[in-house]
Amino acid sequence: MAISLERLRVLKLIQEGKITAEEGVELLELLDLQASGQAEKGKPETAASGGGGRGARWLCVRVTDTNSGKTRVNVRMPISVVKTGLKMGARFSPEVEGLDTNQLMDFIRSGETGKIVDLYDEVDGEHTEVFLE
């Protein structure tokens, strides 16, 4: 059921023009891999990689319009597809290109949960939160 909801979210992002159809296809393929258990093939299941336990299982990104209070973006990405998602993001977003993905993945693997980023952009009227749950 959770995979179906994630697929719907990807399709909604395409419909809203927030990602391209090509990006959506890549995300849908990753979700298919995750559903078949191949997303982390060859790696042991840990709490941080989505195998249960108390570690983080989702990377969440929420962008809220500070003027209206409406949510612009609300994405939950399974930890098992985060590394691939970051690589894809680096190709399409110059802001992500300079991000040290190894450092972020080390933090994710630590099993910690909670906010990673809590940013207010007064110019664009956005509140961006990135967190692990």
Tell me the average pLDDT of the chain.
Answer: 75
Please write the tens of the pLDDT for every residue from 33-56: 766 654 444 343 333 333 445 567
Tokens 């990673």 sit at which residue?
Answer: 116
Whole-angstrom Cα distance, residue 36 to residue 23?
Answer: 20
* pLDDT attached to residue 2: 59
Please write the tens of the pLDDT for every residue from 51-76: 445 567 888 889 999 999 999 888 88
* pLDDT attached to residue 90: 61
Whole-angstrom Cα distance, residue 88 to residue 27?
Answer: 9
58-65 β-sheet, strand order: 71-78, 58-65, 126-132, 114-121
Neighbouring C-beta atoms of residue 27, cutoff 10 Å: 24
Residue 120 has pLDDT above 60, yes or no: yes
Rounded mean pLDDT of 79-93?
Answer: 69
